[in-house]
Amino acid sequence: MAQEDGSIGRTLLKTGATVGLTAALVLLLRWVLSILPRLDSLTGSHVGGDILRFLASDGQAQTQKTVAIVLMVLCFGVAVLLVHILERLLQRGTTRRS
Protein backbone atom coordinates (compact mmCIF):
# COMPACT_ATOMS: atom_id res chain seq x y z
CA MET A 1 0.00 0.00 0.00
CA ALA A 2 1.56 3.29 -1.11
CA GLN A 3 1.45 6.26 1.22
CA GLU A 4 -0.29 9.38 0.04
CA ASP A 5 1.50 12.75 0.01
CA GLY A 6 -0.37 14.05 3.07
CA SER A 7 -0.50 10.89 5.16
CA ILE A 8 0.31 10.93 8.86
CA GLY A 9 2.77 8.06 8.49
CA ARG A 10 4.73 9.88 5.81
CA THR A 11 4.79 13.06 7.90
CA LEU A 12 6.04 11.14 10.95
CA LEU A 13 8.71 9.44 8.86
CA LYS A 14 9.92 12.74 7.41
CA THR A 15 9.88 14.38 10.86
CA GLY A 16 11.85 11.53 12.39
CA ALA A 17 14.34 11.59 9.53
CA THR A 18 14.77 15.36 9.88
CA VAL A 19 15.31 15.15 13.65
CA GLY A 20 17.72 12.23 13.25
CA LEU A 21 19.70 13.95 10.51
CA THR A 22 19.84 17.16 12.54
CA ALA A 23 21.27 15.27 15.52
CA ALA A 24 23.76 13.48 13.27
CA LEU A 25 24.87 16.75 11.69
CA VAL A 26 25.32 18.40 15.11
CA LEU A 27 27.43 15.43 16.25
CA LEU A 28 29.46 15.59 13.05
CA LEU A 29 30.00 19.32 13.56
CA ARG A 30 31.14 18.74 17.14
CA TRP A 31 33.55 16.03 15.97
CA VAL A 32 35.00 18.26 13.23
CA LEU A 33 35.46 21.12 15.70
CA SER A 34 37.17 18.77 18.17
CA ILE A 35 39.78 17.68 15.63
CA LEU A 36 40.70 21.22 14.53
CA PRO A 37 43.50 21.59 17.11
CA ARG A 38 45.00 18.26 15.98
CA LEU A 39 44.87 19.40 12.38
CA ASP A 40 46.66 22.59 13.36
CA SER A 41 49.42 20.61 15.05
CA LEU A 42 49.80 18.37 11.99
CA THR A 43 49.80 21.17 9.43
CA GLY A 44 51.55 23.82 11.49
CA SER A 45 48.82 26.34 10.71
CA HIS A 46 46.50 28.21 13.06
CA VAL A 47 43.29 28.12 11.01
CA GLY A 48 41.54 25.62 13.32
CA GLY A 49 42.43 27.67 16.39
CA ASP A 50 41.20 30.83 14.69
CA ILE A 51 37.88 29.15 13.90
CA LEU A 52 37.50 27.95 17.48
CA ARG A 53 38.36 31.40 18.85
CA PHE A 54 35.79 32.96 16.53
CA LEU A 55 33.13 30.49 17.66
CA ALA A 56 34.07 31.03 21.32
CA SER A 57 33.29 34.75 20.83
CA ASP A 58 35.89 35.95 23.34
CA GLY A 59 34.13 34.16 26.19
CA GLN A 60 30.93 36.24 25.98
CA ALA A 61 28.16 33.86 27.02
CA GLN A 62 25.34 35.53 25.08
CA THR A 63 27.34 35.57 21.86
CA GLN A 64 28.32 31.92 22.40
CA LYS A 65 24.65 31.01 22.79
CA THR A 66 23.82 32.88 19.61
CA VAL A 67 26.57 31.07 17.68
CA ALA A 68 25.36 27.70 19.03
CA ILE A 69 21.77 28.46 18.02
CA VAL A 70 22.84 29.57 14.53
CA LEU A 71 24.86 26.37 14.06
CA MET A 72 21.92 24.23 15.20
CA VAL A 73 19.51 26.04 12.89
CA LEU A 74 22.00 25.61 10.06
CA CYS A 75 22.20 21.86 10.76
CA PHE A 76 18.38 21.71 10.83
CA GLY A 77 18.17 23.55 7.50
CA VAL A 78 20.65 21.15 5.91
CA ALA A 79 18.68 18.19 7.32
CA VAL A 80 15.40 19.53 5.89
CA LEU A 81 17.08 20.00 2.51
CA LEU A 82 18.54 16.47 2.58
CA VAL A 83 15.18 14.91 3.51
CA HIS A 84 13.49 16.86 0.70
CA ILE A 85 16.12 15.75 -1.85
CA LEU A 86 15.92 12.14 -0.66
CA GLU A 87 12.13 12.23 -0.89
CA ARG A 88 12.31 13.50 -4.49
CA LEU A 89 14.85 10.82 -5.41
CA LEU A 90 12.68 8.10 -3.89
CA GLN A 91 9.59 9.42 -5.70
CA ARG A 92 11.50 9.49 -8.97
CA GLY A 93 12.65 5.90 -8.41
CA THR A 94 9.13 4.63 -7.67
CA THR A 95 7.60 6.38 -10.69
CA ARG A 96 10.19 4.78 -13.01
CA ARG A 97 9.33 1.30 -11.69
CA SER A 98 5.58 1.82 -12.18
Residue 5: the pLDDT is 59
Q: What share of the chain is helix, strand, coil (3-state, %, to 5)?
A: 90, 0, 10
Reported pTM: 0.77
Q: Single out the residue of 77, 78, 33 nearest to residue 52, CA to CA.
A: 33
List the chain pLDDT tens, one digit each, 98 residues: 444 556 898 899 999 999 999 999 999 999 998 898 898 888 888 888 888 888 887 778 888 888 889 999 999 999 999 999 999 998 888 777 65
Residue 40: the pLDDT is 86
Residue 7: the pLDDT is 87
CA distance 89 to 74: 23
Residue 77: the pLDDT is 97
Residue 98: the pLDDT is 58
Domain limits of the chain? 21-97
Residue 92: the pLDDT is 85
